[in-house]
Amino acid sequence: MFDRDRWEEIFQTIAKNRLRTFLSGFTVALGIFIFVILFGLGNGLKNTFQEFFLDDATNIIRLYPGNTSKPYKGYKTGRNIQFTNEDVEAIEKAFPQYVDYLTVRIYRNGEVRYGTHSNSYSVRGTSPEHLFAENTIIMKGRYLNYSDIANAEKHAVIGRLVEKDLFEEEDAIGKYIRIRGSTFKVIGVFQDQAGDNEERNIYAPYSTVQLLDGGHEYVDQIIVAFKPTLSYGTVLMFAEELNKYMRERLIIHPDDNGGIYLRNVAKDYQQNQQFATVLQIIVSFVGLGTLIAGIIGISNIMVFVIKERTKELGIRKALGATPSSIIGMVLQESILITIVSGYLGLMAGVGVLSWVGDTLKPYFIRNPEIDLGTALGATIILIICGGIAGYIPARRAAKIKPIVALRDE
Amino acid sequence: MISLSNIYKSYQTGQSTLQVLKGIDLEIAQGEMVAIMGSSGSGKSTLLNILGILDEADQGKYVLDNTLIENLSERKAALYRNRFLGFIFQSFNLINYKTALENVAMPLYYQGLPRKERIEKANYYLEKVGLADWATHLPGELSGGQKQRVAIARALAADPKVLLADEPTGALDSATSYEVMELVRKINEEGKTILIVTHENDIAQMCKRLVHLKDGVIIEDKLVQSQSPKEYV
Ligand SMILES: Nc1ncnc2c1ncn2[C@@H]1O[C@H](COP(=O)(O)OP(=O)(O)OP(=O)(O)O)[C@@H](O)[C@H]1O
Ligand SMILES: [Mg+2]
């Protein structure tokens, strides 16, 4: 294997038989290249997908009020249901064993102004716990706290893009902005993984929003975070009980499709995880398929290479080459070519992936990448298979009687 | 040097069996130069291939330089070919991507000689066949006669006991043939045992002994008054 003469012989055959070298090298390089690209794009698809769902916390049940569609206990159909602060407290008291935390949302869209800049943003009245439900990341300053809620402070936490729009290069912290005609102090700037839309929101204490609206106690959405340790079955049961509890409390028919809506993020998440698994399987299959195509390609080329060399091998045998030296020479050559071209294909694939980067984001492919282990594993498999593919015809060629090989034209 | 007794060889083609050699007995001593003649299909090449351990006899005994050639593994056969035998083919059988020098050095590579020694020896034999200036040329750049001389240098390089040539002049015009034969005779005069298969009478007349094959048996085995190729030119 480390015989210098053998290597010289191999380098010479490689250098003098360019087409052959190119053909086998190209097949391997292309196989690995396509494998890396497809696998990377598949991973990109998965990344996009996971980002959609891993953005928010997944131990969440959302409750929305609506209009009833059934008469019940003396109430007419079409009644407008509204949630209040009391409902939130009641849920907390009723399900202490399940509830991790609770938070609310009040939606208000409106004109927001700073100096000469103004724009329309969605303002969410909420509580400190909302930070966890939304996976909000504070870039600077702070998020809402309990004293903000208790004192109905006119404090605002603004999205990164709100700061960019209104403040340009200026630092927003401590500055005053006008929201729907009232002056708020900016206490924090946040980021959100979900991207641009989420970063054009403004969070304010729900109590402040209620106060400015004239002192009501309504909320537009209740977010119930259950304890993350609960089993999936328990979560489904809890969601069921919560639904029943709220319908009793707000006097809504148990079978009414309207009145109250409940969205169990955990359930969505479960389904999405299954979808992600399916996606992973598809990606793996595509990768495997490419690899098999590559192996078949290199096998064919090895058969062709040996066929082409039959006469040469016959001459070598007549001159005293042993069968093992013939096999060794052919194999060492093919392994050298596969290693070098496999490496080139790998590098090219990884290069293209990193060059593509996030430019395919509009096509739901984000950060296409392949982990080094998978890529190297695929390359090694192809090298080994190339070796086996070379070994079989090489052994056959080594076994042919020299006169038969010499007769080959 | 060579002793064949009762050699049989047949080829299986489809259903039928073609009996090619039907009991060959032949003794060849060190330093002989033997021409094997016979009409096409008489089994000359078959006999030479058996002598060259490129093929095996079905039956009979073959002793080469006091070594019984029998049931050899491929490895052993390769070793014996490398040590004992030098081949010269009608179609030269040079490796076309290797230079004349590299072709001549090939058997030395399989003898495991170090590179420097290989080059030295190969150069020596190329010079011996008068092609020192063509060492770096590829076979494609050489004439037929030159190619055959490279092949002769290659056959000599490993310093074998016996040179086996199957129609070495078959692809050459007569003037070139005589040049090649002149070279072969010179090598024989230095003591090498040589067997030449040919169907050309003039070539056979340049050897020292003539074995005539017909239908798989030797019908004639005689010494000839060896003529120098120069007398033909
Ligand atoms: N591998 C083989 N398979 C089947 N038949 C063969 C094989 N090799 C040779 N023969 C047959 O054996 C016979 C002898 O062949 P051989 O090559 O020894 O003849 P030859 O005397 O060298 O003839 P030529 O002067 O044409 O070269 C021929 O009839 C040939 O067709
Ligand atoms: Mg013949």
DSSP secondary structure of B93-157: ---TTS-HHHHHHHHHHHHT--HHHHHHHHHHHHHHTT-GGGTT--GGGS-HHHHHHHHHHHHHH
Does residue A280 share a domain with residue A232?
no
From the list B71, B132, B69, the residue with the least C-alpha distance to B100 is B132
Residues A14 and A126 in one domain: no
Domain boundary among A231, A265, A299: A265
Statement to judge: residues A258 and A281 lie in one domain: no
Same domain? For A138 and A81 the reply is: yes
Q: Atom 31 of ligand 1 has which residue's CA nearest to it?
A: B41
Residue A219 and residue A250 in one domain = yes
Does A274 lie at the interface with B, CB-CB under 8 angstroms? Answer: no
What is the position in ligand 1's atom list of the atom closest to the CA of B199?
25
State both tokens at B19.
Answer: 């009996």
Do A139 and A200 share a structural domain? yes
Contact A36, A373 (CB under 8 A): no
Q: Are residues A25 and A164 in the same domain?
A: no
Could you tell me if A158 and A224 lie in one domain?
A: yes
Q: What are phi and psi of A153, to 5 degrees?
A: -70, 145
Nearest CA to A407 out of B169, B10, B35, B90 is that of: B90
The domain boundary, picked from A243, A265, A287, lies at A265
For the CA of B21, the nearest ligand: 1
Same domain, A74 and A186: yes
**Strand-strand pairing, B193-197 and B162-166:** parallel
Residues A20 and A65 in one domain: no
pTM: 0.71
CA distance B34 to B195: 5
A322 chain-B contacts, CB cut-off 8 A = 74-75, 78-79, 110
Distance between A326 CA and the closest CA of chain B, angstroms: 11
Of A328, A330, A345, A333, give the one whose Cα is nearest residue A380.
Answer: A345
pLDDT tops 60 at residue A293: yes
Distance of CA A81 from the midpoint of ligand 2 (Å): 106
For chain B, say whether A16 makes contact (Cβ under 8 Å).
Answer: yes
Q: Which two tokens stand for residue A233?
A: 């079955």
> What is the distance between the alpha carbons of residues B209 and B195, in angstroms, rounded to a whole number?
10
Q: Are A321 and B49 in contact (CB < 8 Å)?
A: no
Q: How far apart are CA A289 and CA A293, in angstroms?
A: 6
Q: What is the pLDDT along chain B (233 residues), one digit of tens a residue?
A: 999 999 999 999 889 999 999 999 999 999 999 999 999 999 999 999 999 999 999 999 999 999 999 988 889 999 999 999 999 999 999 999 999 999 999 999 999 999 999 999 999 999 999 999 999 999 999 999 999 999 999 999 989 999 999 999 988 898 999 988 999 999 999 999 999 999 889 999 999 999 999 999 999 999 988 777 777 65
Which residue, B165, B2, B192, is CA-closest to B90?
B165
Query: What's the domain range around A220?
Result: 60-265
Cα-Cα-Cα-Cα torsion A99, A100, A106, A112, nearest 10 degrees, comes to 180
Same domain assignment for residues A289 and A244: no
* Look-up of token digits 């009414």: A256
Distance CA B101, CA B149 (A): 12
Q: Which of B44, B89, B169 to mutate to test the pocket of ligand 1 (most atoms within 8 A of CB)?
A: B44
At B233 the three-state DSSP class reads coil
Give the end of a domain, one of A235, A265, A295.
A265
Q: For residue B54, which residues of chain A lie inside 8 Å, CB to CB?
A: 318, 401-403, 406
| Domain count within chain A | 2
Nearest protein CA to atom 17 of ligand 1, as residue: B45
The answer to whether residues A23 and A169 belong to one domain is no
Q: What pLDDT, on a 0 to 100 scale, did the predictor assign at position A244? A: 93
H helix or E strand, kind and range, residue B5: strand B2-13
